[in-house]
Structure 1
Amino acid sequence: MRSAELQVATIGGGCFWCTEAVFQRLKGVEKVVSGYSGGNVPGKPTYREVCSGLTGHAEVIQIHYNPEIISFEELLIIFMTTHDPTTLNQQGADRGTQYRSVIFYHNEDQKDVAEQVLKELTSEFDRPIVTELSPLTNFFEAEDYHQNYYNDNSTQGYCTFVIDPKLYKLRRLYADKLKPES
């Protein structure tokens, strides 16, 4: 039996170090790449340029996943429940348009699923969901030192105080979706 062809999802929920750490731990996720999407300036942006808030890019991750193991819908539900989709251009202390909650869809099927998930989850939150839904127009891989950040730097303060609680929540809510080593 041939294994399924990997599919790609592109999402942003604040700092890409946080979302990368969450999605790397899920069964069916083969690779997670931190990067930038949604900007409106020519050329590949740098981290410094994106952090200025002037390029229009969001910090995002691209998730390469096996749809026979985890669906796009499941990925989005986990995404929406492991960050705060009700804060505009902010996650915790990280503020600016580069930290916006966003789903960049790759095709109409992804758009339809995302619209349905956003609609279904509306009642789960006390405030309105502000997650942007936009077509993917670009993706630029972030610098090497941003890749696999939590796994390489888990004892740093940001990781301990910001990412560890997200991973705890992930384990509490989605233990059945985690890879054995998670």
Structure 2
Amino acid sequence: MTQAVTTLAGGCFWCLEAAFEQLDGVLSVLPGYMGGHDPRPSYEAVCRGDTGHAEVVQIVFDPAKIDFETLLTAFFTIHDPTTLNRQGHDAGTQYRSAIFFHDAGQQAVAEAMIARLNSDGIWDSPIVTEVTPASTFFVAEEYHHQYFRRNPYQGYCVAVVAPKALKLRKVFAERIKAG
């Protein structure tokens, strides 16, 4: 089986992980950090805005089952790409919207989709999502892995993560994993 990788930032990585892990063809979703200058970022330092990193998810997927463009469609469905360094109440560069492309094909698809969405006028404001080459991926601390699955009744999960995961389930009902 052929595998591909993409890395996306769209606010809190708990939200992205909970949403993307539902999609058929997604083999794994790992929370972490990318795009900063600190060679050893920690959650606390990233949250303070000290590292320049964004909270990201690194998605391994089977392109025979789900293509990169579909993943980006899901990405733009579950977060607001028009707010600079913010998703809801989460504010700071660590919550920026970014597509860290892994090859020229991903870059081209991302740039074309952003141009199309902007021209379609989906949002009242222009998309501010960065399209940037992937750099070193730092895996988040273990307690962040499968956070929503392990903490579904935690306040942030109920108020923020669950609605995003549910929105993806509704919009992509035909692409949700069986079981």
**TM value normalised by structure 2:** 0.96
Instruction: Report SS of the residue matched to 1:124.
Output: coil
Is 1:145 matched up with 2:138?
no
Correspondence 1:104-119 to 2 at 5 A = 104-119=100-115
Number of residues paired by the alignment?
177
Q: Give, in whole Å, the separation in 2 of the partners of 1:180 and 1:87.
A: 34
Correspondence 1:27-42 to 2 at 5 A = 27-41=24-38
Structure 1 unaligned residues grouped into runs of 5+: none
Please tell me the residue identity of whatever aligns with 1:35.
G
Listed one character per residue, the Cα deviations across residues 121-166 of structure 1 (whole Å, up to 9, x for unaligned) are: 1121111101011101111000000011111111111111101111
Say what the alpha-carbon RMSD is for the aligned residues: 0.9
Please tell me the residue identity of whatever aligns with 1:106.
H
Identical positions, percent: 51
Q: How far off its partner does 1:171 sit?
A: 1.8
Q: Give, in whole Å, the separation in 1 of the partners of 2:21 and 2:110.
A: 21
Please tell me the residue identity of whatever aligns with 2:108.
D
Point out 4+ residue stretches in structure 1 off by more than 6 angstroms: none
Q: Give, in whole Å, the separation in 2 of the partners of 1:26 and 1:145.
A: 22
Q: How far off its partner does 1:107 sit?
A: 1.0
Please tell me the residue identity of whatever aligns with 1:128.
P
